[in-house]
Amino acid sequence: MTHLDTELKTLKSSVISMWLMVISQLEKAEKAITQIDKDLAKEIKENEKRVDAYELKINMDCENILALFSPVAVDLRFVLAAMKINYNLERIGDYAKSIADYTEQMSASFDKKLYKATGVNEMFTISFTMLNDALRAFENDAPQMVRSIYQLDDDMDRINIKADDVICEWIQSNPGNVRDALFLHSITRKLERVGDQSKNIATEIIFHTEAKMMRHKKKKKILKVLDKEEDQDEAVKNDE
């Protein structure tokens, strides 16, 4: 193993560690907001400092690899993808912290009917699925594993749009409880952005492994590319 290979392996390990921390932050955010656990909210805010420290370290590691080893081809793509994934993960960590901030400002739990109607619990579940699917794809250099992420992002958008209507109707019917409704509105927006960041991560995984730029392509075209690759892989297996 060359020195570059060792550095790339260490970089990948660091990104995975940050990834797991961010998922944990989001899981704690869900628990904090549903149980109005202010102590857990404080823990999330403290851990955000560790997420930020990870981001800085990973960025510096990427810059050092670029400066010292001048990687090319797949190695260069990996470093560039790691830098962007690092940014996406840090943003997701910020969203978890924002949800913790709302928890600290609340004095009682959300109305159960309103919480269920907005689909926040479903958005949390989808967020975890997207992040874990992307993590497995990153760990295994397997772009096909990100297929679900593009499809689930549509679900996140759909729930977010529906939540806007639900919250508007709630405010009209319950003018004395506007604050909680606005908090829920903000949370659905944060989770919708978690979906966007997860989709960006999926795009970087495809770029790294397949040298394909998907960032400005529509979802249908991305899935078509993945379908074609699946067919090619199946044909190779059949030939064998």
pLDDT tens digits, 21-78: 999 999 999 999 999 999 999 999 999 999 999 999 999 999 999 999 999 999 999 9
Mean pLDDT of the chain: 90
The rounded distance, in Å, linking the Cα atoms of 240 and 229 is 17
- Range with the lowest mean pLDDT among 18-22, 95-99, 143-147? 143-147
Tell me whether residue 201 is exposed, middle or buried, using C-beta atoms within 10 angstroms of its C-beta: 0 to 12, 13 to 18, 19 or more.
Answer: buried
**123 touches 188 (CB < 8 A):** yes
Backbone Cα Rg of the chain: 20
What's the confidence (pLDDT) of residue 177?
82
The rounded distance, in Å, linking the Cα atoms of 54 and 221 is 34
Residue 233: half-sphere exposure toward Cβ, Cα within 13 Å: 9
The rounded distance, in Å, linking the Cα atoms of 144 and 210 is 10
Instruction: Give the Å distances, CA to CA, from 106 to 28, 38, 86, 185, 192.
Output: 16, 9, 31, 14, 22
**71 touches 187 (CB < 8 A):** no
- CB neighbours (10 Å) of residue 88? 22
Q: Does residue 219 register a pLDDT over 70?
A: no
- CB neighbours (10 Å) of residue 41? 24
Q: What is the mean pLDDT of residues 178-197?
A: 95
Q: What is the mean pLDDT of residues 15-23?
A: 98
* Sequence spans of domains, the chain: 3-233
Second CATH level (architecture) for the domain 3-233: Up-down Bundle (1.20)
